[in-house]
């Protein structure tokens, strides 16, 4: 898939942060965004800590779910005039204690072309987004899968 041009990437980033106030509240930042990959960061701040001085599980969930939403918007921004992306379900695993800034890297589990083909065929496609949560040194501290759908707009 072609690389997302800078203008589209900036529009997706600003649109996402405008539409998701909770991500803004937590201070979620974009690190990378393309059609097939999104990386977001949750800066370490005491207001978001748990009882072990690491990021609260809810903050990590929000970071991962936000990264999944960013890749969905990035991959399907040319389909948003005919379908609404909706999260269907999510499952998260916390592997080890996270400390410091956390990044979430999200990737589609299927090709965007296959998903759009289902939409073109009149179906309501469902697809997964896998997310890895990591500390700044690259240690994986959690993983999440969010299942999304593209709900066709009502005519």
Domains belonging to the chain, first-starting first, are: 6-152 (3.10.129.10)
Strand boundaries in the chain, DSSP class E? 29-33, 38-42, 83-94, 102-108, 126-135, 140-152
Confidence (pTM): 0.91
- Residues facing residue 49 across a β-bridge: 55
d(CA 96, CA 28): 21
C-alpha closest to that of 44 among 107, 101, 103, 124: 101
Q: What is the pLDDT of residues 104-136, one digit of tens each?
A: 999 999 999 999 999 999 999 999 999 999 999
């Amino acid at each position: 898939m072609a690389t997302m041009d800078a203008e589209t990437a900036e529009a997706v980033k600003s649109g996402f942060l405008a539409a998701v106030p909770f991500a803004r509240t937590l201070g979620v930042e974009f690190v990378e965004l393309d059609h097939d990959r999104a990386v977001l960061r949750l800066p370490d701040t005491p207001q978001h800590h748990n009882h072990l001085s690491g990021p609260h599980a809810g903050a990590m969930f929000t970071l991962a779910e936000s990264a999944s939403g960013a890749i969905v918007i990035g991959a399907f921004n040319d389909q948003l005039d005919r379908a609404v992306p909706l999260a269907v379900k999510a499952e998260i695993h916390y592997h080890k204690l996270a400390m410091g800034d956390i990044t979430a890297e999200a990737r589609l589990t299927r090709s965007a072309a296959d998903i759009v083909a289902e939409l073109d065929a009149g179906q309501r496609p469902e697809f997964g987004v896998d997310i890895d949560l990591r500390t700044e040194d690259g240690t994986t501290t959690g993983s999440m899968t969010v299942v999304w759908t593209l709900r066709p707009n009502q005519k």
